[in-house]
């Protein structure tokens, strides 16, 4: 049996060294990543879901009694925006003070003008009566507020668009990001005009068959209509 030549040994040794270097480099990248990633908080979700979300916000009437404080308006707008289109929200307005009872109908009218569907005025009925522990806790929570808005709506919870290689993003960010398919899917979900479209398709409106059939019938009978001739040059 012929012994390996000196050059052959060098080639084999070089290949072994290169393989070890590549493996060591990949392993080193992951070690460096783990050390860096401890500085970041990772929250991920793999699915896009649709569910009923109920949220509320407390409002204060302005000192002059003609509206709400700027902070209350900002927080109410943030809540209503997060819950989606007003027309798809079930809104309940709960007065908590004498000033709130005056402003509640005006707020309901303003929300209706903005597109809300029949906001309701509500109240809290606590089991055990006004002297119960639950009633006292509720009173303490509502103290200092004039109105509570409660919004219920179907909301899309889009999947977190995490990167493809989470164990390398601090070392090789461009390689670790991967394709943007999950990000595109999340964007489409968030742009749905109706969250229920994710759960089921919409049915098409009935087609006007008579109109389509009439055009074919005129063509078959040689009774086609002349197209409108528009003179774009302006010449008479």
212 belongs to a structural domain? no
What local confidence, expressed as pLDDT, does residue 73 receive? 92
Alpha-carbon distance of 34 to 40, in angstroms, equals 10
Residues 24 and 57 in one domain: no
Query: In angstroms, how far is CA 30 from the centroid of its own chain?
Result: 33
21 belongs to a structural domain? yes
Please determine, for residue 125, whether its predicted confidence score (pLDDT) is greater than 90. no
Residues 54 and 22 in one domain: no
Residues 81 and 120 in one domain: yes
95 belongs to a structural domain? yes
Cβ atoms 110, 181 nearer than 8 A: no
Alpha-carbon distance of 153 to 91, in angstroms, equals 9
Domain containing 145 — which CATH number? 3.30.1330.60
Average pLDDT, the chain: 76
Residues 30 and 84 in one domain: no
65 belongs to a structural domain? yes
Alpha helices in 88-129 (DSSP H): 98-113
Domain that holds residue 25: 11-40
219 belongs to a structural domain? no
Q: Is 228 left (phi over 0), alpha (psi -120 to 50) or beta?
A: beta
The answer for residues whose C-beta is within 8 angstroms of residue 103's C-beta and 6 or more apart is: 61, 65, 67, 68, 95, 146, 147
195 belongs to a structural domain? no
Number of domains in the chain: 2
Alpha-carbon distance of 150 to 53, in angstroms, equals 10
The confidence band for 49, taking pLDDT boundaries of 50, 70 and 90, is confident
Residues 113 and 68 in one domain: yes
> Among 38-47, 62-71, 156-165, 170-179, which stretch is predicted with the lowest mean pLDDT?
38-47
Q: Name the token pair of 93.
A: 């307005």
71 belongs to a structural domain? yes
Residues 61 and 153 in one domain: yes
Of 9-23, 98-112, 177-191, the range with the highest mean pLDDT is 98-112
Residues 33 and 121 in one domain: no
Q: At 51, give phi and psi (nearest 5°).
A: -155, 165
What local confidence, expressed as pLDDT, does residue 186 receive? 76
Each residue's pLDDT tens digit, 166-222: 787 778 877 777 766 667 777 777 777 788 777 777 777 777 777 778 888 888 888
> Does residue 32 or residue 121 have the better pLDDT?
121
> Among 37-41, 51-55, 106-110, 194-198, which stretch is predicted with the lowest mean pLDDT?
37-41
Which of 157, 176, 210 delimits the end of a domain? 157
What is the per-residue DSSP string for 134-194? HHHHHHHHHTT--EEEEEEEEEEEPPP---S-TTTTTT-HHHHH--SHHHHHHHHHHT-SS
Residues 24 and 121 in one domain: no
Report the pLDDT averaged over residues 66-91. Answer: 91
* Per-residue DSSP letter, 56: E
92 belongs to a structural domain? yes
What local confidence, expressed as pLDDT, does residue 223 receive? 84
């Amino acid at each position: 049996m012929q012994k390996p030549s000196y050059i052959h040994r060098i080639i084999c040794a070089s290949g072994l060294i290169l393989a070890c270097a590549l493996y060591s480099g990949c392993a080193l990248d992951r070690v460096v990543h783990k050390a860096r990633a401890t500085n970041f908080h990772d929250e991920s979700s793999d699915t896009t879901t649709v569910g009923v979300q109920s949220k509320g916000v407390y409002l204060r009437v302005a000192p002059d009694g003609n509206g709400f404080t700027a902070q209350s308006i900002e927080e109410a707008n943030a809540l209503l925006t997060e819950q989606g289109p007003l027309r798809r929200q079930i809104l309940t307005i709960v007065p908590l003070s004498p000033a709130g009872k005056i402003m509640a109908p005006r707020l309901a009218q303003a929300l209706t003008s903005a597109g809300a569907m029949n906001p309701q005025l509500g109240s809290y009925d606590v089991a055990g009566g006004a002297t119960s522990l639950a009633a006292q806790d509720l009173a303490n929570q509502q103290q200092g507020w004039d109105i509570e808005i409660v919004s219920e709506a179907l909301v899309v919870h889009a999947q977190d668009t995490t990167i493809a290689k989470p164990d390398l993003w601090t070392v090789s960010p461009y390689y670790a990001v991967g394709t943007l398919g999950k990000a595109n899917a999340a964007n489409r979900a968030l742009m749905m005009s109706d969250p229920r479209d994710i759960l089921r398709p919409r049915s098409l409106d009935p087609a006007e068959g008579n109109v389509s059939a009439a055009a074919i019938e005129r063509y078959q009978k040689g009774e086609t209509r002349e197209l409108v001739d528009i003179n774009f040059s302006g010449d008479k």
